[in-house]
Chain A
Amino acid sequence: MDGGLVTAPATGEGVDIDALAADMRSICGPEHTLTHHDQLRTYESDGLLQYAALPGVVVLPSTGEEVRRCVEACHRAGAPFVARGAGSGLSGGAMPVEGGALIALTRLRRILEVDLLNQRVVCEPGVTNIAISEAVGPSHFYPPDPSSQIVCSIGGNVAENSGGAHCFKYGFTTNYVTGLEVVLADGQMVQLGGKGLDIPGLDLVGAFVGSEGTLGVATKITVRVVPSPETTRTLVAFFDSTFEAGDVVSAVVSEGIVAGAMEMMDNLSIRAAEAATGAGFPQDAGAALVVELDGSETECEARFDQVVAMCEKGGAWKVRVAQDEAERALIWKTRKAAFAAMGRIAPNYYVQDSVIPRTRMAEVLRRIEELAQEYDLQVANVFHAGDGNLHPLVCYDGAVEGEPERAEELAGLIVKACVDAGGSITGEHGVGVDKKRYMPSMFKEEDLATFQRLRCAFDPDGLANPGKVMPTPRLCGEVPGPYREHPLEAAGIAERM
């Protein structure tokens, strides 16, 4: 694959950005094409503020066709582009390419069709996650529920294959997307999948979901919604340690109980979240375990009593059962507030997203504790215990010399501990820019080169969100066939080696 490679910087360097901005203005209107430095700065980061880059132009199209024309203009100009939804991502996946184009999809926020009879919703990418459940509720709901669901967009969810607390039972974004309208990096629009299942041909919908914006831009998304459960029962149990709580999680799973959600918070996150919501979580608890069961009433009741007994037997010194919807909402608000509330504990923190096989939890948590002591930093833990998705938050003070570097090193060692235990570097946040350096710890060179084949089939010119996912920049060799000029060559940015 070495012959005929094109070298190009992962920046917009060499792109005639003024000409591109003029094109964008004619497509989307001057009021939706931003080039002023102060306006551009709004878009320099996503939810992961450690990484920032200033785009050359930001454009806010209002229709799929405008998106298509903007992408086509980028392709003509040889300009790298990044699509952005709500900008709430936590891996730097929507961080702009320096000097390139940023396509913000916030104006594509229409729900186009609610086909409740067939349990499908067709919407634009800027629609928020929660808006889908609201459009089909209360009889039905859309299960993947990232903690940021009130702001995050379904387009971003598709890019990242977002999960959430209820994914252990219900699955992830990829299990609910049945159809996509996608603008490829050359400006061509394709329809993948539809409302039906088993559409003939390769599962390109499955390949696209979770591709982090590197295969194109989704402009229309068809998702499956499901009937709401008859009953939901929620409890939060408090333990002396995460180890005790972890044992209860294992016991619940071995009993064959498929909980709607099982979430854990350690003492540090309890304290931070409690300060934010005042839900009455005891400040001295070593761990809080939230267990939610849903389903048919008879089944749920029987299983719920079992879980309460397991918690008590497993050392819980307090089990609080939500008596009504308000109390349930408060428990969840506290759990979902944990990330944001961490600002109360430390000026800065690294959010991690590693996954481990659940049976290795105690061992990995101990290792994290040891590492934190060794590095003299606090690590809070708030995680999806059912599926082993840890969210260690490495706390540090950016103003203290050397501390950010120490925190980053510690974060890397935590990721390594998780991968060594048979896990993954990311469960739901995506690789983005943040975790691409860890990719070689999970995948060998041959695996990465095979990933690249998919990328090259969709975007042979490497213009869609370059510099993400892959640990080192790589471009596409030609498929056997007639020579075709690379647009970066045409634009005079790169040359063939």
Chain B
Amino acid sequence: MDRYPAFGGHKEAVKEALVDRLRAAGEAGTPVRFAGAGTKLRWGAPVEGAEVLRLEAREIHEHNAGDLTAVVDAGLPLHELQETLAQEGQMLALDPPLGDEARATIGGIVATSDSGPLRHRYGSARDLVVGMTIALSDGTVAQSGGKVIKNVAGYDLSKLFTGSYGTLGAILKLSLRLHPLSPENATAVGRSPDPAALAAAALELSHARIELQSLDARWEAGAGIVLARFGGTRASAPAEDAAETMKSHGLQTELSADDAEWWGDQREAQRSDSSVVVRISGVQNQLGAVLEAGRHLGARVVGRAGLGLSWITLPNGDHAAGTVQDLRRTFAPSPCVVLDAPDSVRAAVDVWGERDAGAVTLGKRVKERFDPADICAPGLMEGQ
């Protein structure tokens, strides 16, 4: 299955070569983009005529198991890293879509700040990257942070570059914080055709004094579920309690110890190769309204219930651009960002939506300083 074709053909782009090509592009003033596997290259505002520089280096430089840290090249596929870490009972707590198919790379995940269900417990890329080596369009190669999980020396450029979509420069190497793999997992699943009941159950669980790994909701084809996952050495006990909470909201429940497929489905439903996916950066209490919108629109919804994040996959049709605008009106001031979308929709809407003018201006000032030649994904972060 090759739904997100990677950009191929350029095998020469090893790290040093990438720095040279980036510098050359900076001098020539020709636009470039950076890619790992290229699974998210279409996100953001369109960038015309950019040369794609691939992050080919994919080495694990260090795995310091006793310190729960690793140092890796940005081009390393997440799945390869996880396999190595698992041998020591550890993981990088990032589980975005396409991460378990030998596809999405650490660098690409970090550059787009893509995330999955584990974010509930462990945070996102910004919370797990403790150091970074970056390359800028004037040939500068610099490092921020370090190799230890606690460190406040110097500016936190790792956060600035995480989610910057390659608009400031390239991420070459990352220093990562790791976590132990959970010895057991158990998931409580609750079903209901009533968006309000699902949201009420999820909200109660998100405020409960329990230690959840993940807390998701899903709406698809007229019915929904809430999923609550627990880890540790006694995972089934809190999962049973969570199922009781779900029952009290009228949900039909089941328990699953072999729960990987449920969560794989949740991740997969954050992406689409043919439809429009809108990510809503809302608050927890909006979940009911988001699920209701899903029901009303006949759309698929993945809700990260404790975080206020939702991904809505709109049904195919001629009205997608208008629907995006409707969602923005309904959920304002929560940003509704278009991620996956056909070109026709991309051309018809501002993928980012309205933003704070002061923050946008300051963001441009930052880009001017890091990429004065304005060749790194120019325009990608800008609206129309």
Interface residues of A (CB under 8 A from B): 115, 117-120, 139-140, 160-161, 163, 167-168, 171-172, 174-175, 184, 188-192, 194-204, 206-207, 209-211, 227-230, 250, 253-254, 256-258, 295-296, 298-299, 302-303, 355-359, 384, 387-389, 422-431, 435, 439, 442-444, 446-451, 453-458, 469, 479-480
Contact = CB atoms under 8 A, between A and B. Distances in A.
Interface stretch (B33-41, B205-213, B294-302): B205-213
B358 to A, nearest CB: 4
Interface size class of B (residues with CB under 8 A): 35 or more
Contacts of A189: 358
Given A357-B69, A454-B160, A117 B363 contact: no
Nearest to B230: A296
Contact of A171 (B127, B134, B366): B127
Given A358-B66, A424-B150, A443-B143, 13 more contacts: A167-B150, A192-B356, A196-B281, A198-B337, A203-B164, A210-B152, A295-B211, A303-B233, A435-B153, A443-B144, A447-B154, A457-B366, A479-B372
B335 to A, nearest CB: 5
A195 B155 contact: no
Contacts of B207: 119, 139-140, 227
A269 B167 CA distance: 49
Interface of B: 64-69, 89, 113, 115, 123-124, 126-127, 134, 136, 140-144, 146-157, 159-160, 162-164, 167-168, 179-181, 183, 203, 206-211, 230, 232-234, 237-238, 279, 281-285, 306-309, 333-335, 337, 352-353, 355-356, 358-363, 365-370, 372, 381
B211 to A, nearest CB: 4
B372 A196 contact: no
A456 B163 CA distance: 21
Contacts of B230: 296
A175 B93 CA distance: 15
Contact of B359 (A160, A204, A355): A204
Given A190-B358, A202-B164, A256 B89 contact: yes
Contacts, number: 277
A186 B5 CA distance: 47
A163 B152 CA distance: 10
Nearest to A425: B153
A357 B65 CA distance: 11
B232 to A, nearest CB: 4
Given A442-B154, A454-B157, A202 B144 contact: no
Contact of A256 (B115, B149, B164, B181): B181
Contacts of B283: 115, 118, 120, 195-196
A227 B151 contact: no
Contact of A424 (B69, B148, B163, B362): B148
A195 to B, nearest CB: 5
A84 to B, nearest CB: 18
Contacts of A229: 209, 211
21 contacts: A118-B308, A168-B149, A190-B358, A190-B362, A192-B356, A196-B309, A200-B353, A200-B381, A201-B381, A202-B168, A207-B157, A253-B68, A257-B180, A355-B151, A359-B67, A384-B150, A423-B148, A447-B143, A447-B144, A457-B365, A457-B369
A357 B160 CA distance: 24
B284 A119 contact: yes
A170 B307 CA distance: 16
B308 A256 contact: no
